Amino acid sequence: MPSPWIAERMFRIQASGIRKVFDLSKTLTDPINLSIGQPHYDVPEAVKEAAIQAIREGRNGYTVTQGIPELHARIRDKLLKPRRGAGIDPDQRGLLITSGTSGGLVLALLTTINPGEEVVIFDPYFVMYPHLVTLAGGVPVYVDTYPRFQIDIDRVKTVLTPRTKAILFNSPANPTGAVADRVAVKALAELAREKNLLLISDEIYRMFAYSGTFTSPLEFNEDVLVLEGFSKTHAMTGWRLGFAHGPKPIIEEMAKLQQFTFVCAPSPVQYAGLTACEFDTSEWTAEYARKRDRIVAGLRDHFDLAEPHGAFYLFPKAPWGTGTEFVSECIRNNLLVIPGNVFSQKDTHFRISYAADDRTIDRGIEVLVRLARRGPSAGD
């Protein structure tokens, strides 16, 4: 029986299906783990040393809530100023160092969404999106992007109501690996401006765009709120270092809320971020493009899949049964992948993370192809 002390909102927030698979991986012997979305490489040595040095120098206390000034300057100089020609004037945008991109998203939604206001989310979506909208008191409104996972601006227009407050956008996308078409991104940015909607752009995978050019909606709408971070590009998932940039009034309110929640991003990690900004990650991007080609080549003749052009995910349709049924069979064969209903209102697909070494990817391909050919186990 639920405790009477638990807030009603918590019963509308489900435990992450990804965490369940993560916990399951600890019980299996030599599992083929293509489930967790974090880089398989380690944090760069120079970044580690910068964090160690910061700890030894006693930089272990609170920093200012907004983040250390040195990191602000480095991010503006190294990460934002090179985009000046794409609609960004770094000096005119507010900037906040956050406890990961997820922490930035929590602050953004709690700062901007009133109870009952609607937030448009593209389906499939990152597992956190609808639950954080619920936490903020908002109402998730879904726009279907199946089967190719591209944005149809006409579908977006059909769900807008007087209660719509924001659009939550992610490209390159988790779980599909889709990179939004430039024309669609422009249309979305212009629609948000026309309707006076806040467009929140989650760009944590912006460095992992393999085919063509990544397009940020900020190029077409200066009021876009952008969330970025170091977790994926620098394998710093556990370090919790992100940043948000956008209209100054929003960033100022997010900083006010951070005072009473996260307080600040971890101090030694902020100093390590100074070194991370200088680190060239293009070699790892090229490696993941090669891994993408490897797994797509192994699966394309056996699965209905939209070829991903970014991030490090593949979102094929289950060859038989529901996504959950097929994933259950995969787990019985020591392969860990994630059922699609964790990321979607549908249960037709499943997510593969190819952030793994080549041997693990090849083992995963072998199991997936064998199960696609064989069908469900007897009695299923």
Instruction: In the chain, list all ranges with CATH 3.90.1150.10.
Output: 8-43+281-372
Strand partners of residue 95: 245
Which CA distances in Å does 40 have to 323, 360, 374? 25, 11, 30
- Around Cβ 40, how many Cβ atoms within 10 Å? 19
pTM of the predicted structure, to 2 decimals: 0.93
pLDDT score at 3? 82
Digitized pLDDT (tens) for each residue of the chain, 380 residues in all: 568 898 888 888 777 656 566 566 667 778 999 998 899 999 999 999 999 999 999 999 999 999 999 999 999 998 888 776 666 777 789 999 999 999 999 999 999 999 999 999 999 999 999 999 999 999 999 999 999 999 999 999 999 999 999 999 999 999 999 999 999 999 999 999 999 999 999 999 999 999 877 999 999 999 999 999 999 999 999 999 999 999 999 999 999 999 999 999 999 999 999 999 999 999 999 999 999 999 999 999 999 999 999 999 999 999 999 999 999 999 999 999 999 999 999 999 999 999 999 999 999 999 999 999 987 765 44
Sign of CA pseudo-dihedral 359, 365, 368, 369: negative
Kindly list the distances between the CA atom of residue 181 and the CA atoms of 172, 212, 285, 310, in Å, as whole numbers in the listed order.
Answer: 10, 9, 20, 12
Q: Which amino acid is at 143?
A: V
Distance from C-alpha of 214 to C-alpha of 313, rounded to nearest angstrom:
16
With H, G, I as helix, E, B as strand and everything else as coil, classify residue 165: strand
Residue 82 DSSP label: G
Fold of domain 45-276: Aspartate Aminotransferase; domain 2 (3.40.640)
Structure tokens at 56: 């030894």
Domain(s) labelled CATH 3.40.640.10 in the chain stretch across 45-276
Say which CATH class 8-43+281-372 falls into.
alpha beta
82 phi, psi to nearest 5 deg? -60, -15
DSSP one-letter code for 160: -
